[in-house]
Amino acid sequence: QVQLVQSGAEVKKPGASVKVSCNASGYTFTSYYLHWMRQAPGQGLEWMGWIHPNSGGTNYAQKYQGRVTMTRDTPISTAYMELTRLISDDTAVYYCTRRGDAFDIWGHGTMVTVSP
Amino acid sequence: EIVLTQSPGTLSLSPGERATLSCRASQTVSSSYLAWYQQKPGQAPRLLIFGTSSRATGIPDRFSGSGSGTDFTLTITRLEPEDFAVYYCLQYVSSYTFGQGTKLEIK
């Protein structure tokens, strides 16, 4: 079936970087934009940016410009989101999601905890 | 940036009742680009409605969406126990923004 499987939870120190992976299966990876969202504990959803798996083109929310990099490895149908210079406010669940009919398929989420 | 404001913040109802959730945009949103999501604790959001009124695959017909311009509504007729969750609206015409959510709780 169509699914996105994300990497496991991470604990990082302030100032470090984190790289989350998202493996797609059940559909043609290169045919759909792949977006990243995040959700801080008890908070709402926030869009971070997208990557087009075919071209590698990206578009990032202004808030994350300079700190986020989205990449992909097409042969293994996997997208990556790297966030640098982590602070405590980056503690959140990070989701990858496919842009089909709206955001129709979501990964299960990756908890990233930033703690001294 | 288009701001989406959802009301009420919390809605307390009983199974079998009808729920009406509102999403108001700070500027006009094309009806083709308004969606609704359901999220349960510890789970990813689940797409319910896209394009204001189209149900996503597998979504029961007790869920319906309507609206235009700046005012949109998600209606759930005959609430089932599994419907109690947080609901978010999303606009995807000008970048991407979500409402702050409506928590639907059991009365």
| pLDDT tens-digit map of B16-71 | 999 999 999 999 999 999 999 999 999 999 999 999 999 999 999 999 999 999 99
Give the model's pLDDT for residue A4: 98
Single-letter code of the amino acid located at B66: S
The reported pLDDT for the residue numbered A38 is: 98
Chain B residue with minimum CA distance to A59: B95
Question: Would you call B95 and A61 a contact, using CB atoms and an 8 Å cutoff?
Answer: yes
Q: Is B98 exposed, middle or buried (0-12, 13-18, 19+ CB in 10 A)?
A: buried
The contacts of residue A109 (CB under 8 Å, 6+ apart) are A6, A39, A93, A94, A95, B44
- Write the pLDDT tens digit of every residue in A22-51: 999 999 999 999 999 999 999 999 999 999
Rounded distance between C-alpha atoms, residue B43 and residue B58, angstroms: 17
Give residue A12's pLDDT.
98
B56: its two tokens: 């996503």
Neighbours of A108 (CB within 10 A): 14
Query: Can you give the pLDDT at residue A90?
Result: 98
B5: confidence class by pLDDT, cuts 50, 70, 90: very high
Would you call A29 helix, strand, or coil by DSSP?
helix
For CA atoms A94, A97, A103, A106, the dihedral sign is negative
Task: Extract the residue ranges of chain A whose pLDDT is less than 70.
Answer: none
What residues of B are in contact with residue A49 (Cβ under 8 Å)? none
Distance CA B99, CA A44 (A): 8
Dist. CA A53–CA A29, nearest whole Å: 7
Banded model confidence at residue B94, pLDDT cuts 50, 70, 90: confident
Residues of B in contact with A106 (CB under 8 A): 44-46
Closest CA relative to residue B105, chosen from B5, B15, B6: B15
Question: What is the structure's pLDDT at A87?
Answer: 98
Q: Which residues 3-62 of B have a C-beta within 8 angstroms of A? A: 35, 37, 43-47, 50-51, 54, 56-57
